[in-house]
């Protein structure tokens, strides 16, 4: 099976930290309630990702096996980076401010679970990028996911073993 690639427009929102706390149900038993603190913007962002993922994989079941995921987050450049003559020389090349790229990736991983893959634990190779949306580039995330062939997985494992020595 070939990979899937699509773009989700919108301002990327990180996957919030999750908190769990006990709740006593009407049946008198204790249950666990899990709350994501990313708020309504996070919910809207994950919904947009789910919609785009489903639109690009209409007849496909979630992928099985090891997966390679590549994400390119295009974030807006702050107003202070641009002057009357364009980009200021003091403007940084890379967006090194919050949110961090791992939390942005968490939102995509959670949103695509059950659509592109059964469980985000299947992602064994991940390539993450956070860039400014310069030169008219749209704000959003480009998602690319592809299965990893067994032979490739063995080679990657052998290379990882060499690093551990």
Q: What is the pLDDT of residues 102-136, one digit of tens each?
A: 999 999 999 999 999 999 999 999 999 999 999 88
Question: In this structure, are residues 95 and 130 in contact, taking their beta carbons and an 8 Å threshold?
Answer: yes
What is the pLDDT at residue 32? Answer: 77
**Mean pLDDT to the nearest integer, 3-16:** 93
Task: Of 61-65, 98-102, 159-163, give the lowest mean pLDDT range.
Answer: 159-163
Q: What is the DSSP string of the chain?
A: ---EEEEEES---PPPPEEEEEEE-TTS-EEEEEEETTHHHHHHHHHHHHHHHHHH-TTPPPB-S-EEEEEEEEEPPPGGGEETTEE-TTS-SS--SSSPHHHHHHHHHHHHBTTTBS-GGGEEEEEEEEEE--TTPPSEEEEEEEE--HHHHHHHHHHHHHHH-
Q: Which fold does the domain 4-15+37-164 belong to in CATH?
A: 60s Ribosomal Protein L30; Chain: A; (3.30.1330)
Q: What is the pLDDT of residues 28-74, one digit of tens each?
A: 888 777 666 678 899 999 999 999 999 988 778 899 999 999 999 99
C-alpha–C-alpha distance, residues 116 and 18, integer Å: 22
Domain residue limits, the chain: 4-15+37-164
What is the model's pTM? Answer: 0.81
Question: In this structure, are residues 48 and 42 in contact, taking their beta carbons and an 8 Å threshold?
Answer: no
Residue for token pair 């939102």: 107
Choice between 49 and 23, residue whose per-residue pLDDT is larger: 49
């Amino acid at each position: 099976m070939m990979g899937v690639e699509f773009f989700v427009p919108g301002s990327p929102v990180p996957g919030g930290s999750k908190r769990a706390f006990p709740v006593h149900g009407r049946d008198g038993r204790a249950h666990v309630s899990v709350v994501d603190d990313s708020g309504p913007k996070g919910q809207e962002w994950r919904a947009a990702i789910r919609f785009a993922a489903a639109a690009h994989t209409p007849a496909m079941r979630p992928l099985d096996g090891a997966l390679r995921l590549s994400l390119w987050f295009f974030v807006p450049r702050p107003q202070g980076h641009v002057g009357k003559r364009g980009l200021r020389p003091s403007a940084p090349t890379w967006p090194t401010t919050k949110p961090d790229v791992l939390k942005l990736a968490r939102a995509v991983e959670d949103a695509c679970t059950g659509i592109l893959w059964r469980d985000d634990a299947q992602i064994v190779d991940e390539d993450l990028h956070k860039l400014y949306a310069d030169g008219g580039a749209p704000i959003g995330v480009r998602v690319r996911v592809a299965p990893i062939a067994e032979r490739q997985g063995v080679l990657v494992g052998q290379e990882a073993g060499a690093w551990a020595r």
